[in-house]
């Protein structure tokens, strides 16, 4: 007695087993896409601090002039006429373009180019009110809401002279540095930006007087504040 095997079922000439495999692969691809979207959404919704470093001149109770051109220089002709008493500072700006509030702390400068390994330092910060977006805080820990920003004005010339004495190759490199709660590594300003590079200027003069002349801008400022 002969028994013949029945043909496998098919739909439109395509075996059902092949169709089942195709549906399974499609479901797997959709699941991977959904997982990737959830990961991307989590990253986009979370706090994503962006750090910028500018050079600024602050005239207390008067005005703040900031160079946002991406160059670490002060051209008072372009920025406007500065008074006889002013302070040359590093403006550290931290923005939060994410959808979740973040807490940042220990604003400072990341130093490279000295005899020591790369490290960060936190100069004293000034609180400047009434200057709009350029108003700054002296707090060392700040909560930043979504789509908001905070500004710090750092007295970098209080630490730069010592760093310049340790410089290798005649220059040091400064980058804005901020720590973020919940993250192990600090966030730094863009290393590719020429605005974070400081070349060694001439030595300061008049350090024993009430006003110290900045080697970068040539402006004098009070050290008794």
**Per-residue pLDDT reduced to its tens digit, 46-80:** 677 899 998 888 888 788 888 876 666 665 555 55
* Per-residue pLDDT reduced to its tens digit, 101-153: 999 999 999 988 787 777 888 999 999 988 888 899 999 999 999 999 999 99
Predicted pLDDT of residue 87? 83
Q: Do 107 and 184 fall within a single domain?
A: yes
pLDDT band per the 50, 70, 90 thresholds, residue 157? confident
**String of DSSP letters for 138-180:** --SEEEE-TTEEEEEEE-GGGTHHHHHHTBBTTEEEEEEEEEE
Is residue 129 assigned to a domain?
yes
Rg (CA), the chain: 28
Q: Do 198 and 93 fall within a single domain?
A: yes
Other Cβ atoms less than 10 A from the Cβ of 120: the count is: 17
**Gap between the Cα atoms of 107 and 86, Å rounded:** 22
Q: Do 173 and 64 fall within a single domain?
A: yes
* Per-residue pLDDT reduced to its tens digit, 78-102: 555 555 677 888 999 999 988 889 9
In terms of pLDDT, which residue wins out, 183 or 221?
Answer: 183
In terms of pLDDT, which residue wins out, 198 or 210?
Answer: 198
Predicted pLDDT of residue 137? 94
Per-residue tokens: 33: 């896409």
Q: Do 24 and 112 fall within a single domain?
A: no
* Per-residue pLDDT reduced to its tens digit, 167-176: 776 677 888 9
Predicted pLDDT of residue 20? 82
Is residue 65 assigned to a domain?
yes
DSSP class of residue 208 equals: T
CATH number, residue 145: 2.60.40
Predicted pLDDT of residue 68? 76
DSSP class of residue 92 equals: E
Is residue 39 assigned to a domain?
yes
Over 70: is that where the pLDDT of 190 sits?
A: yes
Is residue 156 assigned to a domain?
yes
Q: Quote the percentage of the chain above a pLDDT of 70.
A: 69
Phi-psi region of 208 (alpha: psi -120 to 50; beta: other; left: phi over 0): alpha
Provide the residue range defining the domain that includes 108. 50-203
Read off the pTM: 0.69
- CA-nearest of 135, 160, 50, 54 to 96 is 50
Total tally of structural domains belonging to the chain: 2
Strand order in the sheet with 63-67: 63-67, 50-59, 87-96, 148-154, 125-126
Is residue 218 assigned to a domain?
no
Residue carrying structure tokens 């005899």: 115
Predicted pLDDT of residue 201? 46
Other Cβ atoms less than 10 A from the Cβ of 159: the count is: 18
CA–CA distances in Å: residue 220 to residues 64, 90, 126, 137: 15, 16, 17, 23
Predicted pLDDT of residue 193? 56
């Amino acid at each position: 007695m002969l028994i013949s095997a029945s043909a496998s079922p098919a739909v439109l000439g395509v075996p059902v087993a092949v169709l089942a495999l195709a549906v399974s692969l499609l479901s797997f691809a959709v699941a991977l896409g959904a997982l990737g979207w959830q990961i991307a959404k989590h990253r986009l919704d979370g706090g994503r601090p962006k750090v910028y470093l500018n050079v600024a001149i602050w005239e207390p109770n008067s005005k703040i002039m900031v160079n946002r051109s991406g160059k670490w220089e002060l051209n008072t002709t372009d920025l406007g006429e500065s008074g006889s008493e002013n302070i040359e500072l590093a403006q550290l700006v931290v923005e939060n373009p994410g959808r979740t509030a973040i807490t940042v702390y220990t604003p400072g400068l990341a130093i490279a180019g000295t005899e020591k390994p790369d490290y960060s330092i936190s100069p004293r910060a000034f609180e400047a009110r009434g200057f709009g977006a350029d108003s700054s805080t002296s707090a060392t820990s700040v909560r930043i809401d979504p789509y908001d920003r905070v500004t710090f004005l750092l007295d970098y010339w209080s630490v730069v002279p010592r760093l310049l004495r340790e410089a290798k190759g005649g220059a040091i490199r400064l980058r804005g540095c901020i720590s973020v709660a919940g993250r192990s590594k600090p966030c730094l300003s863009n290393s590719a930006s020429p605005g974070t590079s400081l070349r060694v200027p001439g030595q300061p003069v008049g350090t024993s007087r009430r006003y110290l002349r900045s080697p970068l801008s040539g402006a004098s400022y009070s050290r008794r504040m």
